[in-house]
Structure 1
């Protein structure tokens, strides 16, 4: 009965498995909904970092922005030298873009939206100098340094200290213990004991091994290693003929030198990674100098733009006040009959100048920030608060005389000191070193290894001195025997490992390095051509803008004279020709304002192009 019941249960289980098949039971989760709302709510919840970092006082204590309605400020006179000094003293994140092209975009927007990796700081050269390779120094089982024999490339090395660390001495040590308990394949007597005194069965042994080594890479490409080994042995081999003492110690001290004879040989090859690392640091310094140069350039640009903005504001105010006076007189004297046209024209001109006055102060849109916008941009470059109750006012006068440069001197300075050309020349030096390293890889690897060791064997590790030589008496120490210098050994080994048949990879690497070098030379030539062309462009613009500046200044003077003439006639109240007088007065006022605006802009541009030429020559930071 019990057997039948078991059969029925087994059969029922088989049928159940067959009916259910491979359809798994869906998991059940607490709070589960079909639209996964609970999961989505958890995953898409916005979190804010809990960072213990207070904002700068320049940010947290900044005042309400200055505007047309808020003009509660006092003037702060600032020289150009002071502005540059403040900017360089407060710089942490360099508020300037790389390259030689002028910045037309909003610096604040660029800094806020740029990824961290694209921003430059004063820490960048130090970060490059402290870049390290994450791979540790490699050692073999004997404590010898294992050197990488591949070609060196500039983008695979860190800083100089990291490259020099390849020549640091590396200490290694290990301690090993082994226990043996096994039968031997030897003849035994009736008691099951081995008749072979050299091979007892079972064989019981305790063995230990300790090693301490120090290994260092040499400047010529070799490896020098000093090594100490201690070996302990204890087993059940019977004392007598087979064994003098139950335990013995072996102490070894050896010196080993491995040196390449072909690939990787010589100081030239082994100093290439260090030189590449040093050039990487030099390139980082050039990049840093470029950003600082651009910062100084932007500060000077902002200074002269602010200077021009003040004069544009003053010109707009003068034009507005003049048109307001004309409108007031016209309305008082000629606000009847046919003279109403002149009054309306004077009113329209006044409102136009009023709008220009407000735009000159507060700005009129992208590219026209106005006086307050220019001042705020200057504050950002100086590292000051956006508003602190003071309004920066430039007091240095711009250069208006024609600047004279010697073309040959300018050209020589550009080819010698230009930052972009200097960085490209460093790149060529790196390509030359990479080519030398690539050519060395086609040589076979031929390594010579020489080893010399001192050996001491004793029944004890140290001994108590004045013991007979081991194994006599068995009480001599291993160190005692070692220092006796009676046992010395030597070894020599020559390894030969050529490249793979055909040397395809090595030849391809040489071709790549050669093409990289040629490419870098062509790029340098193109950059030199571009630099000289850009210098000529700045040279011509300096002369052209100076001529325009002179013309606009003369136009401003002539229109100012016309304004005074027609204003005198206008104030006299000549009613016979009043429309003509009002029309010419307003027209002369507009032309005077336009000439003054253009003159101020040309003065700023003239000084900015002198800055551009000095930046191109590499003399801006002097």
Structure 2
């Protein structure tokens, strides 16, 4: 009875011991363990920093303390014209920073690129660069070594050079053994009776060989090959007396040609990968050009936004100073007991309201200046404050609708890129239809064969096989053994199911791209319509707000005179001052929006680069490329032209397009889609626009914060002087390239250039200089608060 209880007790104690100690793994014991675990990593994934040795940009390292309301001090004013801003921006742009288009919101043009856009969109690569065409051109594509590092741009997985490599001569040297060995040794017994006269009981041989070949495929699809096949054999495989030589060398030279008759025949099909790859490069170039145009439009928008910020600051300062004068008058009267405390508080509130507007305008000025610096590629703060030097135009610019509509459809880089995609799809349809043909190849081969005891000898001894000492090369060159052969191969799938699906797939892709192009053209026409409407509205608003400003100025003067005489209450004075400030701000806002609208119309019709005097061209190649191109050009010049009678397709590209504006004849600029005049006829007086001598055009210089505290008097000028645009009568010279990509970018990079002379479309004669060459003018008119 005690034995079962003892067994149960033992099991209970073992279970209790296991429960107390728990189950956990144990580490092994090492004899020379020193306890240093500094190399141990307890996490497989954690935040780390890469070991990249790249110094930060100097403009980032040496940025000074930002300008703020509490820190408004700067060293000097940097007056820049729009042409200088564009030149500096292009000189400092490897990445096209203004790649996001300007947006039209509620009648105002808003820059699409600002602080944070480049960083947030860097993963999606929304911003183009001058390296993109070269990256597309040098894409190696899929090869025997593996797939391309990227899928390629515009759906092209290889560049032109990679596509042309299919026509390069291919050299191969392989062993003749099935595994590619050049020599092998065998020693095997034979399953024959011993002593048999016609067999050997044991065969021991050494054999080897090498095949060397040079092959090349032509544009028509024919493959030519020239090869040498050399074999070596040593050992007896027959009884003594039946094999004259113990070792023999066999060599043969072959010339072979194979040509497809159906599938894969013709230069159109075989050169199609090269053409599609080149179209991919053209698409990327057009994409880069579209991004560059958006950048120029963003620069214009930021430039006039900064100009407007100066004007708004000046307007707020005028309101603040006038309200301060009013408050002091009311304060003195309140102290004398002639005015109630309510009017003093009302005047004081008006002053602080205008003061808040000054502070908000100053902050907006700093922000706009900072955004313009970002587009220019400059440091956020370098002790200088950029101030626009150009004045906005007040002249009315008229565009002929039919001409600019045609121009926008023909010149918009987005539409040109889409047409290139359609050309790609057309070629793909031709390629897919070619796959419906059976594979029918024919060819021929001719071979010279030589056999001998040795492979080659320095002297010809006249011995031929089977003599001892004969050489295979002597036998071959004597031409005793010649062979030939004809090849014929035919293959086709029954039903062509995959091939028919490929044709339908290519046709549907072509139809989709054509439909998308139609809708893109519709979208461009709608956008151009909206831009023209916005341009005309802003011009009308500028005229209306000019009259509004003039009326409010007269109202302020009359109400202040009545108030001094005790014939008007204070409310009328304060309200008149507010309306004057609102009218002045509305006028300058409409003028700046009008100038931005002009640039927006040029962007939508694809002429913004001409408008800013910017050229788009290819960057420099290596010197070896120019040397090879010159040699090929001389070779073609010395050749004879042969007309085959027809080619397919007849046209792939219509050649380079015009990028610069035509010349000037007389004083009228002959640019398709627009007309510029030195003087426009005086419009008829209307209720919104009185007689010309009554139209005020206040000439307020772009001022620094707090540079002046009084409102300049309005100046009455003639409408001809108001509406006459400033311009040059000389034609802009050919732009000097300013390469934004490195000259060593393989195989080539793109560059943008700005004109060294004034652009006749812009009208300001200034030189394009880099940041290091442009020195700001000294400013001694005042400092900011």
TM-score, normalized by length of structure 1? 0.86
The equivalent of 1:550 in structure 2 is 543
Distance 2:420 2:406 in 1: 19
Q: 1:323 to 1:156 in 2, by over 3 A?
A: closer
- Equivalent residue number for residue 224 of structure 2: 224
Match of residue 606, structure 1, among 589, 594, 603: 594
- Residue 436 of structure 2 corresponds to 442
Match among 108, 112, 116 for residue 123 of structure 2: 116
- Structure 2, unmatched stretches of 5+, are 1-22, 30-38, 105-109, 147-152, 176-181, 611-785
What is aligned with 1:271? Answer: 271
**Aligned partners of 1:159, 1:464: CA distance in 2, in Å?**
48
Using the alignment, how far apart are the partners of 2:333 and 2:50 within structure 1? 70
Q: Which aligned pairs between 1:73-84 and structure 2 lie closer than 5 A?
A: 73=74, 74-84=76-86
Would you say the 8 A contact 1:157–1:276 is kept in 2? no
Matched residue of 2:608: which SS? coil
Aligned length: 559
Q: Is the 8 A contact 1:253 1:455 kept in 2?
A: yes
Deviation, 1:283, is 0.4
Post-superposition offset of 1:528: 1.2
For the 8 Å contact 1:465–1:476, the answer to whether it is kept is no
How does 1:336-355 map onto structure 2 within 5 Å?
Answer: 336=337, 339-355=340-356
Indicate yes or no: 2:313 matched with 1:313. Answer: yes
Q: Aligned-pair RMSD on alpha carbons?
A: 2.3
1:177 aligns with 2:168: no
- Write the deviation string for residues 109-152 of structure 1: whole angstroms up to 9, x where unpaired: 121222334132221111111111232289xxxxxxxxxxxxxx
Q: Secondary structure at the match of 2:368?
A: helix
Q: Which residue of 2 aligns with 1:377?
A: 371
Q: Which segment drifts farther, 254-263 or 379-388?
A: 254-263
Shift of 1:48: 2.2
Task: Measure how far apart 1:101 and its partner are.
Answer: 4.3
Q: Secondary structure at the match of 1:42?
A: coil
* Structure 2 Cα separation of the partners of residues 96 and 64 of structure 1: 25
Give the structure 2 partner of residue 92 of structure 1.
94
Matches within 5 A, 1:185-264: 185-189=191-195, 194-196=196-198, 199-237=199-237, 241-264=241-264
- Aligned partners of 1:604 and 1:494: how far apart in 2? 76
- SS of aligned partner of 1:91: coil
The answer as to 2:140 corresponding to 1:132 is yes
Aligned-partner SS, 2:187: strand
User: 1:248 aligns to what SS in structure 2?
Assistant: strand
Give the CA deviation at 1:475.
1.6
The residue that corresponds to 2:55 in the other structure is 54
Query: Partner of 1:72: helix, strand, or coil?
Result: coil
1:70-123 superposed Cα distances (whole Å, 9 cap, x missing partner): 122111000000000000000022212345646656622121222334132221
> 1:465, 1:480 within 8 Å by CA — same for their partners in 2?
no
Question: Structure 1 residues 361, 466: CA separation in 2 closer, same or farther (over 3 Å shift)?
Answer: closer
> Contact 2:98–2:113 (CA<8 Å) still a contact in 1?
no
Give the equivalent residue in structure 1 for 2:732. none
Higher-helix-fraction structure: 1
Q: Which runs of 5+ in 1 are unaligned?
A: 1-24, 32-37, 139-152, 363-369
CA contact (8 A) 2:111 2:301 kept: no
Contact 1:258–1:450 (Cα < 8 Å) also in 2: yes
Change beyond 3 A, Cα 1:515–1:422: same
Which structure has the bigger radius of gyration?
Answer: 1
C-alpha deviations, 1:138-192, integer Å up to 9, x for none?
9xxxxxxxxxxxxxx9735411111001111111112321212112233432xxx
Q: How does 1:206-605 map to 2 (within 5 A)?
A: 206-237=206-237, 241-335=241-335, 336=337, 339-362=340-363, 370-499=364-493, 501-570=494-563, 573-575=564-566, 577=567, 580-605=568-593
- Aligned counterparts of 2:59 and 2:543: Cα–Cα separation in 1: 42
Distance apart, 1:469 and its partner CA: 4.6
In structure 1, distance between residues paired with 2:41 and 2:352: 58
